[in-house]
Amino acid sequence: MFSKTLTSGGELRPLEPWRAEEFAAHIDRAREHIRPWVGPSFVTTDVDGARATLGRYADRAARDGAGIYGIWDDGVLVGGVMFVEFSTGTRSFEVGCWLEPGAEGKGHITGAVRELLAYALEERGMHRAEWRCRSDNDRSSAVARRLGMTLDGVLREAWPVGGVFYDKQVWSLLAGEFTA
Ligand SMILES: CC(C)(COP(=O)(O)OP(=O)(O)OC[C@H]1O[C@@H](n2cnc3c(N)ncnc32)[C@H](O)[C@@H]1OP(=O)(O)O)[C@@H](O)C(=O)NCCC(=O)NCCS
């Protein structure tokens, strides 16, 4: 129900709090793969932590300020995409993503982000999409490039991980530049 089939064959659906156990099992498979590249609060260790993540997104979605969507491959939750921020005031939003390692290289994320861009830029009349990643996250910047985003610039040493400050890239796509 409420699912969208991606060209990769994945299924994109809202990732709601009632899926916390399934999400926690997926995070167990993804944890070490995503840890260097995503915010620490996303890298949870148990079902309560997973439920808290989905609850935070649900609360903010209720205020039209965020959203999180899972990707299922052959019935297994393998990753997802999210509106990290969604501001109707400025008509700008930020998209994020993650996958467990076995699901890379199939186009799930490029296809799923395209769905979020179409929804936000076309259906909701938003103006500016942002993509933020560590400058050395080559697979993430490749997604932004593949989607036709422009590198706005680099925030120097803005991403601390384990005592090291990494550079952060900011990519964007404007409404007039999007072709579904
Ligand atoms: C960032 C991340 C989600 C990107 O995953 P990905 O698999 O490279 O991205 P996609 O799902 O869009 O797949 C693209 C790959 O599938 C291939 N592909 C196959 N079919 C495709 C299709 N229909 N459409 C697009 N690409 C397709 C592409 O050629 C590309 O392969 P390549 O890696 O050999 O160039 C993943 O590396 C990840 O989870 N990393 C850790 C967490 C993270 O960094 N999150 C982002 C924080 S900013």
pLDDT, tens only, 66-102: 999 999 999 999 999 999 999 999 999 999 999 999 9
What is d(CA 154, CA 61) in angstroms, rounded to the nearest whole number?
29
Q: Considering the entire predicted model, what is its pTM?
A: 0.97
Which atom of ligand 1 is least distant from the CA of 103? Answer: 7
- Output the residue whose Cα is nearest ligand 1's atom 18: 107
Structurally, the chain folds into a number of domains equal to 1
Q: Is the CB of 8 under 6 A from ligand 1?
A: yes
Show the domain range for 162.
4-177
DSSP string, 104-155: TTSSHHHHHHHHHHIIIIIIS---EEEEEEETT-HHHHHHHHHTT-EEEEEE
**Top mutation candidate among 78, 110, 136, 171 for ligand 1, by most atoms within 8 Å of CB:** 110
Tens of pLDDT along the chain (180 residues) come to 689 999 999 999 999 999 999 999 999 999 999 999 999 999 999 999 999 999 999 999 999 999 999 999 999 999 999 999 999 999 999 999 999 999 999 999 999 999 999 999 999 999 999 999 999 999 999 999 999 999 999 999 999 998 999 999 999 999 999 987
Indicate whether residue 107 lines ligand 1 (CB < 6 A): yes
Q: Could you tell me the CATH number of the domain that includes residue 10?
A: 3.40.630.30
